[in-house]
């Protein structure tokens, strides 16, 4: 898989993959126009949408309606000893209605934990960044 990143102007940075464009922008307070989520927000959203597809598939396989099921994500920060903030916790709530089958409550959490994005974070890849001169 290859993703091409382009700079369409100002603080916008877009990723192009398979004919689709993922747009990003910076908030106004950071010099952007606020026209799209920032890359970090896309990262957090990818965790939620990834867990969400597992929840959705689980429910669809059991004919459980998903109209009123949502996932809510919250992030928490902590400080290092030298006072710098870092992302310390991602909390995901799977919001269900009272009529959700009780026998599937634990299974729903287990299925959401199968998220491939979460697994990639738990076993982080190595990064290799280099400059390539193209003619």
For the stretch 72-99, pLDDT in tens is 999 999 999 999 999 999 999 999 999 9
Domain ranges of the chain: 37-122
At 1-27, the pLDDT tens digits run 899 999 999 999 999 999 999 999 999
- Domain 37-122 falls in which CATH fold? GMP Synthetase; Chain A, domain 3 (3.30.300)
Asked if residues 32 and 26 have their Cβ atoms less than 8 Å apart, the reply is yes
Residue-averaged pLDDT of the chain: 97
Look at residue 62 in the predicted model and tell me its pLDDT: 98
* Cβ burial, residue 115 (10 Å; 0-12/13-18/19+): buried
């Amino acid at each position: 898989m290859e993703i091409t990143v382009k700079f369409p102007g100002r603080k916008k940075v877009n990723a192009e993959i398979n004919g689709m464009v993922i747009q990003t922008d910076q908030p106004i307070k950071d010099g952007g126009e606020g026209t799209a989520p920032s890359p970090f927000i896309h990262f957090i959203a990818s965790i939620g949408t990834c867990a969400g597809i597992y929840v959705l598939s689980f429910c669809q396989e059991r004919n459980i309606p998903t109209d009123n099921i949502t996932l809510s994500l919250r992030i928490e920060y902590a400080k290092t000893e030298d006072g710098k903030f870092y992302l310390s916790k991602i909390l995901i709530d799977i919001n269900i209605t009272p009529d959700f089958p009780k026998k599937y409550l634990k299974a729903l959490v287990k299925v959401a934990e199968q998220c491939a994005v979460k697994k990639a974070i738990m076993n982080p890849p190595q990064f290799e960044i280099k400059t390539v001169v193209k003619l």
